Structure 1
Amino acid sequence: MGSLVYLGVTRPDISHVVHILSQFISAPTQLHYTHLLRVLRYLRGTISRRLFFPRSSSLQLQAYCDATWASDSSDCRSLSAFCVFLGGSLISWKTKKQTAVSRSSAEAELCAMVLVTAEVTWLRWLLENFGVSVSMPTSLFSDSTGAISMTLDPVKHELSKHVSVDAFYTRAQVQDGIVSPQYVPSEIQLADLFTKAQTGARHCFYLFKLSVLDPP
């Protein structure tokens, strides 16, 4: 599993399964070992697959974030995931279990937005140090209208009192022109690959969109 975690630095297509299996390192069962062998067989069959960085790519950031609400049956915690592109090149991604139990799907999505907003803030600072202009807000795509409204609506209502810190942080970044939340349909939410298992067709679709390709 340690080797798979290391490999995940360049293979985003195994990010979700590595995250799941890593939770059972201390007490694995035969079922976990069986799934581990499936991952190894998948890697053996796709050993030439790699990230592609086009030379003509722009230097504008865009990010996708997604979450699964109460997806862990053992503690009802949600899963956050994001991926960040520099032009058409995937440069950052993460799958992470949330530290607290979310009371709604909108709250889980908001936690994912906070996670990627912090990542985008750091990446913008890094690009500025490289001399790259990042004056335009970074597009932040989410498929949750509830989470987006909490980052844009300054009214503190009853349903968001317990997540006011996350809401105010993201809202402050929106007002400062760091990120610009935008809605994207779930069917083309690229961060969905990092939150749940996919069918073969959907898996190939996401890999193509993420530019995880086999060399010609």
Structure 2
Amino acid sequence: MDYEETFAPVAKMTTVRTLIAVASVRKWKICQMDVKNAFLNGDLHEEVYIIPPPRIAHQPGEVCRLRKALYGDDYDGIESLKHDLAHRFAMKDLGLLRYFLGIEVAQPHIGYLLSQTKYISDLFQRARLSDNRTVDTPLETNARYSPSDGVPLADPSLYRTIVGSFVYLTITRPDIAHAVHVVSQFVTAPTSVHWGAVLHILRYLRGTQFQSLLFPSTSSLELRAYSDADWDSDRNDRKSTTGFCVFLGDSLISWRSKKQDVVSRSSTEAEYRAMVVTTCEIVWLRWLLADMGVTISQPTPLHCDNKSAMQIAKNSVFHERTKHIEIDCHFTRHHLQLGTISLPYVPSALQIADIFTKALSVSRFRFLCDKLSMLIAIAL
């Protein structure tokens, strides 16, 4: 079971992080409005139409009303929109964005800061973690787990609850993304060993509770991405792990740590599959940024540390050893030729996406964490 894919809000937060990154650079103020009864559910017994059905007489604008796009520096337009919404719906203006859905937002002079400090504190109580021990990394170095490790938990409900909370915590904590990816694979039948891994993550969070994700106001608005894979990383099914991260200037807006769907027959193939997933994310982010008024005219650098995978993308001739990934090859090569991406080589020592593919040593983990635009919360 891939627990990450069942938590839709986490995926949607990429859009929010991208918006915040753009707002920070352009000095936009992000406001918040509360809609009364927005989360109430009811059973509808009628058909609901976005477009009126045929032969139904209607006036333009009766079903929906569209407004022109507003950007963050159009303060008059925003105030007019807020007034219009409050007039038509039961809404309240909460002012500048400070806190929503367990995420704390600060706006110091250096940019926007996202954190989940209180959420982590509540998580300690939920897990009944009473000791104050801390560890330096989310997982032990080179840690690998299997379903048969340890003794099955008599009641797995707490394990599932904590892992679900971990998934939501990755919204602002990319440093635990790979560890959460690992423990989420055992929610169906967790064991004592898997629970030990969960406790390890909690003790890491105990020592890093006040870390925030920074979206600096001095950043550029240029995309750059890093793609990596850990070949044959799962000793149970021999599947590899994909890891990628995408920056908008110095702001980390998207990342993933996920087991690949099929078994790769070589490290090159695993790296190439990771490259394809990253290319898809880049294409979508470029479209999203264009919708926010940010036009990216230059190819987005996709940094890879596997020269063989890069050659497959650049080589128009398919070899016998690559025909089984032909569709992926065509997709990536298409966007390379189109100018959507470029493929600069990055040494493995500087491959930031490495942190999303495996459990690392303390020194390596700290080095890569420093590249993720994370910092300890500061006094505002």
**TM-score scaled by structure 2?**
0.56
Select the residue among 274, 291, 298 that pairs with 1:136.
Answer: 298
Q: Which residue of 2 aligns with 1:154?
A: 316
4+ runs deviating over 4 angstroms: none
Shift of 1:188: 0.5
SS of 1:31 mapped into structure 2? helix
**1:1-216 aligned within 5 A:** 1-216=163-378
The offset of 1:203, in angstroms, is 1.2
In 2, distance between residues paired with 1:120 and 1:129? Answer: 14
Between 1:202-211 and 1:187-196, the stretch displaced more is 202-211
Farther-moved stretch of structure 1 (32-41 vs 56-65): 32-41
SS of 1:116's partner is helix
Residue 38 of structure 1, CA deviation: 1.0
- Contact 1:136/1:177 (<8 A) preserved: yes
Give the Cα separation in 2 of the matches to 1:119 and 1:153. Answer: 22
Identity percentage of aligned residues:
52
The residue matched to 2:344 in structure 1 has which SS?
strand
Q: Shift of the alpha carbon at 1:215?
A: 2.9
1:68-122 CA-to-partner distances (Å, cap 9, x unmatched) read 1111011100110100000011000001111111011000000000001000000
Larger radius of gyration: 2
Normalized per residue, which structure has more helix? 1
- The Cα shift of 1:159 comes to 1.3
| Structure 2 unmatched runs, 5+ | 1-162
**Matches of 2:241 and 2:251 in 1, distance apart?**
24
Please say if residues 80 and 97 of structure 1, whose CA atoms lie closer than 8 Å, have aligned partners that are also in contact.
yes
**Letter in structure 2 aligned against 1:78:** S
State how far apart, in whole Å, the 1-side matches of 2:319 and 2:363 are: 41
- What is the DSSP-based 3-state SS (H/G/I as helix, E as strand, rest coil) of the residue aligned with 1:170? helix
Secondary structure of the structure 2 residue equivalent to 1:53: strand
Using the TM superposition, give the Cα deviation of residue 149 of structure 1 relative to its aligned residue in structure 2, in angstroms.
Answer: 0.3
| Paired residue total | 216
| Deviation of 1:211 (Å) | 1.1
* Alignment partners' CA distance in 2, 1:188 and 1:181: 15
The answer on whether the counterparts of 1:207 and 1:213 sit within 8 Å (CA) in structure 2 is no
**TM-score normalised per structure 1:** 0.98
